[in-house]
């Protein structure tokens, strides 16, 4: 093994240890920590580690503090980001649920979508009201606390609920919104079809009744 390969092999091992072992309240590692431990070429080390993780259906995910992700982030911007190891997304849905009921997952998806529509945060009472239209009242507080405990949502001292680290790390927000909009559009189309079908049935029934009355009169 060349000296260069040996150097990167050691750095990949160190990066793996830092990313897989939780050392803070939140999982993941800040960029500046990786910079300090691995050197200024740590983005290349993470790219190499990501290639090694592909066969395991895992990936290194970069999450920036700001909502807008830089197209070509500088080392300084990466230093302020946080890095996680998450699922790459090739597993089946039944494998991803990890003990969650399908209605709880649906509630989480709806809540995330609602908060996105409110520009990233919403009063808890508004979130609770929205969920009240989708699930039994006794489940609302339990589910919200669960979403917060698992890191998908956060709540500040003013009662505002926002998207937390796990949503930003694991959820493809654009794909989620697209899926929900597509589902809503399909529901509208179905409702329109049912309405038009019912109108046609009603018209046919009226025509049949008129023909029957005409026959009787003759």
Q: Is the pLDDT of residue 129 over 90?
A: yes
Q: How confident is the model at residue 190 (pLDDT cuts 50, 70, 90)?
A: very low
Q: In this structure, what DSSP letter does residue 155 have?
A: E
Strand-pairing partners, residue 161, are 122, 155
Higher pLDDT, 12 or 65: 12
Interatomic CA distance for residues 1 and 50, integer angstroms:
21
Question: Does residue 96 sit in helix, strand or coil?
Answer: helix
Interatomic CA distance for residues 183 and 185, integer angstroms:
5
155: CB partners within 8 A, 6+ apart: 124, 148, 161, 162
Whole-structure pTM value: 0.59
Interatomic CA distance for residues 213 and 218, integer angstroms:
9
Strands (E), the chain: 29-30, 58-63, 82-87, 121-123, 153-155, 160-163
Higher pLDDT, 125 or 21: 125
pLDDT tens-digit readout, 80-124 = 999 988 877 644 445 455 567 888 888 888 898 889 888 889 999
Interatomic CA distance for residues 142 and 36, integer angstroms:
41
The pLDDT score that the predictor gives to residue 91 is: 44
pLDDT tens-digit readout, 30-60 = 999 999 999 999 999 999 999 999 888 888 9
In Å, the largest CA–CA distance within the chain is 105
Interatomic CA distance for residues 163 and 113, integer angstroms:
10
In the chain the domains, ranked by start, together with CATH numbers, are 3-90 (3.90.1150), 96-170 (1.10.10.10)
66: CB partners within 8 A, 6+ apart: none
The rounded mean pLDDT for the chain is 79
Question: Does residue 110 sit in helix, strand or coil?
Answer: helix
Structure tokens at 141: 């507080």
H helical segments located in 21-60:
31-38, 42-53
């Amino acid at each position: 093994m060349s000296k260069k390969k040996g150097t990167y092999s050691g750095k990949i091992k160190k990066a793996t240890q830092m990313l897989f072992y939780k050392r803070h309240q939140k999982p993941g590692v800040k960029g500046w920590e990786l910079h300090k431990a691995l050197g200024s070429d740590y983005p290349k080390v993470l790219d190499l580690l990501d290639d090694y993780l592909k066969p395991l259906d895992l990936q290194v995910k970069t999450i920036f503090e700001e909502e807008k992700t830089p197209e070509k982030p500088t080392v300084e911007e990466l230093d302020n980001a946080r890095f996680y190891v998450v699922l790459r997304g090739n597993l089946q849905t039944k494998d991803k649920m990890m003990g969650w009921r399908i209605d709880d997952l649906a509630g989480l998806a709806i809540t995330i979508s609602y908060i996105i529509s409110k520009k990233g945060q919403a009063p808890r009472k508004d979130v609770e009201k929205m969920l009240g239209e989708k699930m039994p009242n006794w489940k609302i507080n339990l589910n919200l606390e669960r979403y917060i405990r698992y890191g998908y949502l956060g709540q500040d001292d003013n009662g505002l609920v926002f998207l937390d680290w796990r949503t930003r790390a694991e959820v493809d927000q654009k794909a989620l919104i697209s899926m929900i909009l597509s589902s809503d559009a399909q529901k509208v189309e179905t409702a329109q079809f049912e309405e038009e079908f019912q109108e046609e049935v009603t018209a046919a029934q009226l025509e049949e009744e008129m023909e029957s009355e005409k026959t009787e009169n003759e």
